[in-house]
Amino acid sequence: FNALAEPVTAGDLRRSVETQLAALGVPAEVRMMLQSHGLGSVVTRHYTRHTFVDEMRAALETFARFLDGKGAAVVPLARGRRK
C-alpha cells in the first residue's frame, strides 16, 4: 500500500473510472452518458433520442464485476509443449 502524496479529488475519481471503463471496452458514447457529458455533436444532441439506459446499466455491471474481482476468467495453462 502506497500512501497518496496529495488528497484524491472528485476529478481524479472521474478520470480513473473513465480510464478503466475504456480499458473494459465500454464505448465512448456510453462513457460520456455515464459521466453526464451527453453526446456532443449537433446530430446526436438534436436527433438521437436513444437514452442508452441499457448500455449504461451493462457498463456499470461490468465495472462492478471489475471492482469485485469477478471480471476476469482464469484459464489454466497446459503443462509441457503442445505438439
Question: Which pLDDT band holds residue 82 (cuts at 50, 70, 90)?
Answer: low
User: Which three cell numbers mark 35?
Assistant: 459521466
pLDDT tens track for 27-62: 998 998 888 766 667 777 778 788 889 999 999 999
Whole-number Å distance between alpha carbons of 56 and 32: 10
Cα-based distances in Å from 28 to 18, 20, 66, 76? 9, 12, 18, 33
pTM of the model: 0.68
pLDDT tens track for 9-24: 999 999 999 999 999 9
21 in Cβ contact with 55 (< 8 Å): no
Helix (H) or strand (E) holding 30: helix 28-34
User: Which three cell numbers mark 40?
Assistant: 456532443
